[in-house]
Amino acid sequence: MKALFIGGTGTISSAITKQLVEQGCELYLLNRGNRNAALPTGVNLIQADINDEAHVAELIENLAFDVVADFIAFEPAQLERDYRLFKDKTKQFMFISSASAYQTPLSDYRITEGTPLSNPYWQYSRNKIACEDYLMKQYREHGFPITIVRPSHTYDERSIPLGVHGGRGSWQVARRMLANKPVIIHGDGTSLWTMTHNSDFAKGFIGLMGNIHAIGESVHITSDESVTWNQIYEIIADALGVKLNAVHVSSEFLAACSKVDYRGGLLGDKANSVVFDNAKLKRLVPEFVATTRLDQGIKQTVAYILAHPEHQTEDKEFDAWCDKVIQALDAAARSITE
């Protein structure tokens, strides 16, 4: 198989890149080269900015692919560019959408690919929906061979997956745990969530590549494991070897008092219970099974981050904000009970 990835070094795509190279795929990555140092041997690099359409067109003029996948498209205009570049150069075009595009709030917590797409809380999700609409139009009217993939919360060894963190990543929450400081959990922590290790996501994605039954289809790829946010934070604390000191805070309150977009990330996504039905993926890729249990994956991630200080990015602004939120709640409680 000959494939081209636009991107290829992110949380989701890096695991796919690794597994494809191990399987002998002729893989090309088109990116700006900022994160290519850790790529496995055997990857063919096309260094360019995908937004420079004319330059990219020159670079791929004599190339054609079995699969082209765009991991970094977020708006319809970017897919319009991809269509112009690749409409005659690939047998399958794969777009990475988002499970946050599904109906929010849900009318049924069990999500299938037939669940409506609607998210009034998050522009990011609405943009992904618009991208899907554009691609389906090209498939219906021009036969453009598209496959839409919807990941949910996918993680790797470089970042601890969380619900509430600052703009500089999740390490500061781990620091708070290690210092026995209170850690904010949105809502009451009992809503169900699904996290998927990127190595498991890669297995499903690769199974869709070159799969004639996936053309014209939308498919989500997630683990079958459902956990509550309380369990998630307990798993992280356990991996760090500390006792969790949790404070539960309304998602609406967090969205109202933060500069970070918690309205989209919480109210439009993580505040809602979600359970994914992966039956469609398993019909298309019968061998797919997610094998990394969350507690196992989190232990691997925590161990990696503790051993690699470059991934321990402090966020003093977020740390101070957490203290303010908790102090405000304590003060409000005292004012009512006094």
Tokens of 38: 């850790």
> Tell me, what's the pLDDT at 338?
75
H or E segment and range at residue 81: helix 76-86
Domain boundaries, the chain: 2-155+196-221, 171-194+225-274+292-332
Cross-strand bridge partners of residue 196: 154
Return d(Cα 44, Cα 29) in angstroms, integer. Answer: 6
pLDDT tens, 264-306? 999 999 999 999 999 999 999 999 999 999 999 999 999 999 9
pLDDT digits (tens, 9 = 90+) for 239-265: 999 999 999 999 999 999 987 889 999
When pLDDT is cut at 50, 70 and 90, the band that residue 201 belongs to is very high
Q: How confident is the model at residue 223 (pLDDT cuts 50, 70, 90)?
A: very high
With contact defined as beta carbons under 8 Å apart, do 183 and 177 qualify?
yes
- Domain 2-155+196-221 bears CATH identifier 3.90.1150.10: no
> Are the CB atoms for 197 and 290 separated by under 8 Å?
yes
Residues 25-82: pLDDT tens digits? Answer: 999 999 887 777 678 888 999 999 999 999 999 999 999 999 999 999 999 999 999 9
Band of pLDDT at residue 174, cut at 50, 70 and 90: very high
Question: Tell me, what's the pLDDT at 337?
Answer: 83
* pTM (two decimals): 0.94
* Fold: same for 2-155+196-221 and 171-194+225-274+292-332: no
The pLDDT score that the predictor gives to residue 191 is: 95
Token readout for 13 is 């795509």
| Residue ranges in 123-250 assigned as alpha helix (H) | 123-142, 171-178, 198-208, 229-240
Distance between CA atoms of residues 275 and 292, nearest Å: 17
What angle is formed at CA 209 by the lines to CA 127 and CA 14, rounded to 5 degrees? 70
What is the Cα–Cα distance from 160 to 157, expressed in whole angstroms?
7
Q: Answer whether CATH 3.90.1150.10 is correct for domain 171-194+225-274+292-332.
A: no
Amino acid letter at 294?
Answer: L
pLDDT tens, residue by residue, 122-147: 999 999 999 999 999 999 999 999 99
